[in-house]
Structure 1
Amino acid sequence: MIENFPNLVNYYDQQIASRSLSQKLSLDENITLYAFDQGESISRETSTNNKLLQIVEGRILLNCNQEKVELKKETLIAIHQGQVFGLEAIEPSKLLLIDLPSPQDIYR
């Protein structure tokens, strides 16, 4: 269990900070908490597996498959394997990213 998990990562000027929570939760899947300063971004990339994105604080602009959507605090969204996406913080924001196992990994 992790209490007050948003406080595990801090904001830094003109940076993106991250902290893996996988080990602390004893999980194999990647679970990462990010803190984006305003204007910081993750370049567009192709998702190698399914992901869940939970906005913990702030607002983030999601660019997914050429469509832009503003994600606000307490928003949960799925990014599917093979989708091209990028993220940009509209204001200082925290994001929880959970990599989900692919079906072939579950049934091994």
Structure 2
Amino acid sequence: MKINLSQMVRYHDGQITSRSLSKKLGLSNPIMIYSLDKGETISSENSLRTKIIQVLDGRLEVALADKTAQILSKQDLMVIQKNQTHAFKAIQRSQFLQIEL
């Protein structure tokens, strides 16, 4: 199945939008696509699964529990290990794909 990720979620001023792709792709693992307006944040969380984050558009800050932060740009990929606390902040309007393994 082919899908165009850039058309799955749209930007909205001052908002975060997201969509689950798991059912559409017929997969059991959580796969989400997010769209964040500039300055929007997703607060600290951790997961029982390892996450792969791929930035599709914009610039995204990923803050980790050890007080380090990575700035990801379009086409950058990052692995967040299971049980690692992390948070997201859109430096620019950003879209990213999150795959949980």
**TM-score, scaled relative to structure 1:** 0.88
Consecutive unaligned residues of structure 1, counting only runs of 5 or more, are 101-108
Structure 1: distance between partners of 2:5 and 2:46: 27
**Which amino acid counterpart does residue 21 of structure 2 have in structure 1?**
L
How far off its partner does 1:14 sit?
A: 0.8
Backbone CA RMSD of aligned residues: 0.9
How far off its partner does 1:3 sit?
A: 2.8
Structure 1 residue runs of 4+, over 3 Å off?
none
Structure 2: distance between partners of 1:34 and 1:97: 8
Question: Which residue is 1:32 aligned to?
Answer: 32
Structure 1: distance between partners of 2:25 and 2:60: 26
Consecutive unaligned residues of structure 2, counting only runs of 5 or more, are none
Structure 1: distance between partners of 2:48 and 2:99: 12
- For each residue in 1:15-67, what CA deviation from the matched residue of structure 2 results, as whole angstroms up to 9, or x when unmatched? 10001111110000110110000000011112221110000000000101310
Matches within 5 A, 1:80-99: 80-99=81-100
Question: Which residue is 1:9 aligned to?
Answer: 9
**Which amino acid counterpart does residue 73 of structure 2 have in structure 1?**
K
Structure 2: distance between partners of 1:2 and 1:40: 29
Seq. identity, %: 39
SS in 2 for 1:6: helix
**Which amino acid counterpart does residue 29 of structure 1 have in structure 2?**
N
**Which amino acid counterpart does residue 72 of structure 2 have in structure 1?**
L
**TM-score, scaled relative to structure 2:** 0.94
Structure 1: distance between partners of 2:47 and 2:24: 24
